[in-house]
């Protein structure tokens, strides 16, 4: 309707102009001109509005162009994933004054950093704090995330870190001049060194070394756990559970631990669930074995993303001598391993010949924690 009205006003203006030029007297031409004035005024109004709209569209286009230099939260997480999962080529940052060994991802000043941290944690597990309120972790080194701090020196305010294969992922805040900026970056991660361990190093110490794990240990009331289960547990498993907590090695083998806080993943609750299911079903899905607390029954301590299950065969009175039984997601696929859970994990990470090897896919290993950590969102 507005468009038709505009056409009509244009027609009146044109006809008025024609009449103005063709009038026989000055009075006729004056009358025609006065009659066409509203139409010319409307045309002028429309022209000004169109010019203003063009300018505004141009401004919006420039703003969109400026914003397109940056990425939103989901796009940032996707960009991080591409960097982490890309070809293992040396990383070189384009930021002025930054050297090689990392890449900073462009972020907007309006970035929801807490949302980005949540998005990265959803893919790479819980983060650890490298810097908080302007104070960096003084123990940080190349094996625990220092490459994420190095590009910013003393200007780091807060930094969360994730390890994944040969990469560090970082998200935090830094000072730039008198401003505070959000940063997201991916840095190269050195291969954790195992060769320097003493010959008598335990399997747990080797697992810690090969994953470069530096998380804080947790306390577990093992007396209460073992009383509830009705059996003692292997020593090395207790150490693994305390040192690592709930999470996955190389994102593959998930470790069940007591008091994990994750539904369905608590070690004791899972054992009780399997025992109840076996009792209710009347038949065993684990033949020729039973499920603990049946004598010599299976007790599950881990599983994989490919539906593999890892158990102890609770035979004998010494839990430290219980063998590990692994089952794939196919009938009658049992594999026996005469060693501890920690030895099983270490060999799985490092030996290509291991039946559940991840060494065929990764040269650098890590532990992906699922434990929640307190984060100071205001500072980061």
Residues with Cβ within 8 Å of 334's Cβ and at least 6 positions away in sequence, in order, are: 289, 325, 326, 327
Instruction: Give the helix/strand (H/E) hosting 254.
Output: strand 253-255
Instruction: Supply the pTM of this predicted model.
Output: 0.76
Tell me, what's the pLDDT at 130? Answer: 94
pLDDT at 69: 43
CB 68 within 8 A of CB 120: no
> Which tokens is 345 given?
């994990």
Count the residues in the chain.
380
Q: What is the pLDDT of residues 251-267, one digit of tens each?
A: 999 999 998 777 777 99
Spans of the chain, pLDDT less than 50: 1, 4-5, 7, 11-14, 59-70, 374-380
Candidates 237, 186, 193, 238; CA nearest to 212 is 193
Under 8 Å between Cβ of 222 and 233: yes
* Residues contacting residue 4 through CB under 8 Å, at least 6 positions apart: none
For residues 373 and 127, is the Cβ–Cβ distance under 8 A?
A: yes
């Amino acid at each position: 309707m507005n468009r038709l009205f505009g056409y009509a006003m244009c027609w009146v203006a044109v006809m008025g102009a024609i009449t103005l030029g063709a009038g026989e007297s000055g009075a006729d031409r004056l009358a025609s001109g006065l009659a066409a004035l509203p139409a010319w005024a409307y045309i002028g109004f429309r022209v000004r509005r169109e010019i203003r709209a063009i300018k505004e569209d141009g401004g919006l286009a420039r703003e969109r162009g400026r914003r397109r230099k940056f990425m939103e939260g989901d796009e940032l997480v996707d960009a991080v994933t591409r960097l982490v999962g890309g070809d293992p080529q040396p990383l070189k940052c384009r930021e002025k004054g930054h050297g090689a060994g990392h890449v900073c991802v462009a972020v907007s000043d309006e970035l929801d950093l807490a949302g980005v941290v949540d998005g990265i944690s959803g893919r790479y597990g819980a983060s650890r704090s490298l810097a908080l309120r302007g104070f960096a972790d003084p123990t940080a080194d190349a094996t625990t995330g220092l490459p994420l701090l190095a590009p910013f020196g003393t200007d780091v305010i807060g930094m969360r870190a994730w390890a994944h294969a040969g990469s560090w992922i970082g998200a935090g805040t830094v000072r730039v001049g008198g401003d505070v900026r959000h940063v997201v970056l991916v840095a190269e991660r050195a291969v954790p060194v195992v060769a320097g361990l003493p010959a008598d190093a335990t399997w747990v110490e080797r697992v810690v070394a090969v994953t470069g794990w530096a998380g804080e240990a947790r306390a577990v009331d093992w007396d209460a756990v073992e009383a509830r289960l009705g059996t003692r547990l292997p020593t090395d498993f207790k150490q693994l559970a305390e040192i690592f907590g709930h999470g996955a090695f190389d994102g593959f083998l998930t470790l069940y631990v007591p008091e994990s806080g994750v539904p369905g993943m608590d070690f004791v609750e899972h054992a009780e669930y399997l025992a109840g299911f076996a009792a209710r079903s009347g038949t065993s899905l684990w033949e020729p074995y039973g499920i603990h607390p049946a004598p010599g029954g299976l007790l599950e301590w881990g599983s994989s993303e490919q539906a593999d299950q890892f158990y102890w065969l609770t035979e004998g009175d010494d839990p430290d001598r219980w063998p590990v039984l692994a089952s794939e997601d196919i009938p009658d696929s049992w594999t026996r391993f005469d060693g501890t859970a920690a030895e099983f994990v270490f060999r799985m990470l490092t030996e290509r010949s291991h039946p559940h090897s991840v060494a065929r896919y990764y040269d650098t290993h890590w532990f992906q924690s699922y434990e929640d950590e307190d984060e100071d969102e205001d500072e980061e």
